[in-house]
Amino acid sequence: MGVRGRFLLLLGLRWLATGLLMPVALLLPLERSLTIAEIGIAMAAQGIVVIVMEVPSGALADSWGRRPVFIASGVAAIAAYALTLAAQSVLAFALAWGVSGLFRALDSGALESWFVDAENARGAADEVPSALATAGGVISAAIAIGSLLSAGLLYVSPWSAGDSLAVPYVLAIGIVVVQVVAARLLMEPVARTEPTTAAAWRHTLATGVRVAFGRRLRLLTAAMLLCGVAVAGLEMLMPVRLAEFSTDTSAAGSVLGVVSSIAWGLAALGAAVASRVLREVGPGVVAPILAVAEGLGLAVMAIAGGPVALVAGFWLCYLVHTSFGAAYNALVHDRVTEAHRATALSVTSMAFLGSASAGGVALGIAAEELSAAWALAGSAAVMLLAAVLVAGAARQRGVTVQR
């Protein structure tokens, strides 16, 4: 199996487990008598750990190696899912989500960096943007399949609600075990030219952060800050706007479930198309166009006078967002060497997560004080500004790394 095939297989296993848990992640603690407020408090542990560990874990992947960090992320995922199965209290769920945050931080960038390094090593750097778009399609498809499989398991389960909601976690643990074994067998270790000491890790962390905020990546990092705000608006305000066009909140929720499933399918379709386009056109052209398209999708959602236009805008956003992420990451990879690749990805990921959290708060206030439509209009404006920054970054000269 080639490098690309191994990368996509490992990526599919990683996100299949996540897809399995999406339908039950909130229902299980509710079934175990936690309130929505208590769930929010417990979930905050994940966000805190991710923000604290995101960049240090990227530096660890750069200094220690991609394979051991990716394997460690799988071990952390198994621990998090096992803790969730046993959790019965707010503190126990907070611990489980905290360990899940560690898993997500370790996972961020390690596998993708391994793939890009391997492609560069065999002289196939020009194939990376297309492969990353394909990877986005694999992620979307794996999430959709996992979610549908989880829903099917819940539908046919002969056990009680509490036991049924735990079944996807058991299956997810099994899938991650397979992922860890596969990573051990399929990811070739890369020889390190520098010692993997604590001092080496600190040096990699410091220099990697400087690279991420330096001339080569400054505009791209700023663009990702804006993207985080825009995506927060997309995810948070879609249910609110849909409920505005329905007199039955539960019915709106059912419709949203179907709409979201189709959206993931469109994301996979968009990624497949982008994979072909990126073979002919560079990411510097594709990324700004896709960002503009996502901004227009948000604008349609803002001005929608009914559910049809609202859903159309939502689907447009999903159609292009995964592909935009692939083209964006390709621009990042062009500007860094393997010494700082995972750290750079972690910095942009942290920028996205941090701004999404802050943006969610700001947009929530805007929706309360003005309306959800105005908050979505703000999200659209922010995404269009991100497109301008990405276009500016793509036009920069002397910032790409020679292979």
pTM: 0.84
Residue 34 in tokens: 């936690």
Handedness of CA 157, 161, 164, 168 (dihedral sign): positive
Q: Are residues 279 and 316 in the same domain?
A: yes
pLDDT of res. 46: 85
Residue 103 CA to residue 78 CA, distance in Å, equals 9
170 and 310 together in one domain = no
- Range 3-39 burial, b when 16+ CB lie within 10 A, else e: bbebbbbbbbbbbbbbbbbbbbbeebbebeebeeebb
Whether 32 and 113 map to the same domain: the answer is: yes
| 225 and 89 both lie in a single domain | no
- For residues 206 and 127, state if they share a domain: no
User: Are 191 and 203 within one domain?
Assistant: no
pLDDT recorded at residue 3: 94
Residue 56: which of 205, 169, 206 has the closest Cα? 205
Report pLDDT for 50.
87
Which residues of the chain carry a pLDDT beneath 70? 190-197, 200, 203-205, 208, 211-212, 247-254, 257, 397-403
Domain at 222, CATH number: 1.20.1250.20
186 plus 202 within the same structural domain: no
Q: What is the mean pLDDT of the chain?
A: 88
> Which residue among 175, 196, 217 closes a domain?
196
- Check: CB of residue 325 under 8 Å from CB of residue 386: no
**Res 212: pLDDT:** 65
> Are residues 107 and 260 in contact, defined by beta-carbon separation less than 8 angstroms?
no
d(CA 134, CA 4): 10
CA distance 195 to 182: 26
In this predicted structure, what is the pLDDT of residue 397?
67
Return the pLDDT at 26.
80
Quick one: how far is CA 154 from the chain centroid?
Answer: 25
Of 196, 223, 247, the one marking the end of a domain is 196
Q: Please identify, among 196, 215, 233, the residue that sits at the C-terminal boundary of a domain.
A: 196
Q: Do 282 and 396 share a structural domain?
A: yes
Alpha carbon 258 to its chain centroid, in Å, reads 21
State the Cα–Cα distance between residues 97 and 99, nearest whole angstrom.
5
Neighbouring C-beta atoms of residue 40, cutoff 10 Å: 11
User: Would you state the pLDDT for residue 192?
Assistant: 54
Q: Are residues 315 and 359 in the same domain?
A: yes
List, as one string, the DSSP characters of 270-339.
HHHHHHHHHHHS-HHHHHHHHHHHHHHHHHHHHH-SSHHHHHHHHHHHHHHHHHHHHHHHHHHHHT--TT
Q: How far apart are CA 330 and CA 142, in angstroms?
A: 22
With CA atoms as reference, report the closest residue to 301 among 373, 209, 207, 199. 373
Q: How many domains does the chain have?
A: 2
Q: Do 31 and 152 belong together in one domain?
A: yes
Burial of residue 183 (number of CB atoms within 10 Å: 0-12, 13-18, 19+): buried
Q: How many helices (H) and strands (E) does the chain have?
A: 15, 0
Are residues 177 and 234 both part of a single domain?
A: no
pLDDT, residue 304, reads 96
pLDDT digits (tens, 9 = 90+) for 261-292: 788 889 999 999 999 999 888 899 999 999 99
Q: What is the pLDDT of residue 197?
A: 64
Pairwise CA distance, residues 397 & 393, whole Å: 9
Q: How far apart are CA 267 and CA 380, in angstroms?
A: 19
Q: What is the DSSP string of 61-120?
A: HHHT-HHHHHHHHHHHHHHHHHHHHH--SHHHHHHHHHHHHHHHHHHTTHHHHHHHHHHH
Return the residue matching tokens 């208590």.
38
Whether 77 contacts 215, CB under 8 Å: no
Both 383 and 261 in a single domain?
yes
Contact (CB, 8 A) for 108 and 350: no
CA distance 67 to 75: 12
Structural domain harbouring 171 = 1-196
Q: How far apart are CA 290 and CA 399, in angstroms?
A: 22
Element of type H or E holding 29:
helix 27-31
